[in-house]
Amino acid sequence: MEIRTRLAVESDAQELARLNQLFNGGDRRPVPEIVESMRTSSELIAVAECDGKIVGFGCAQRFQSFCYEELLGEITELYVEKSARGKGAAASLIAFLETHLKQRGVTEVKVLTGRQNAAAIRTYERCGYAVDDEVLLKKLLSGEPTDTQALP
Mean pLDDT computed over every residue of the chain:
91
Asked if residue 69 belongs to a domain, the reply is: yes
Asked if residue 151 has pLDDT above 60, the reply is no
Asked if residue 120 belongs to a domain, the reply is: yes
Cα–Cα nearest to 48, from 99, 98, 100, 89: 89
CA distance 119 to 93: 15
Q: How many domains does the chain have?
A: 1
Asked if residue 134 belongs to a domain, the reply is: no
Q: Provide the pLDDT confidence category of residue 133 given band limits of 50, 70 and 90.
A: confident
Residue 14 is part of which domain span?
3-126
Position 108 scores a pLDDT of 93
Cα–Cα nearest to 86, from 126, 46, 130, 131: 126
Asked if residue 47 belongs to a domain, the reply is: yes
Asked if residue 19 belongs to a domain, the reply is: yes
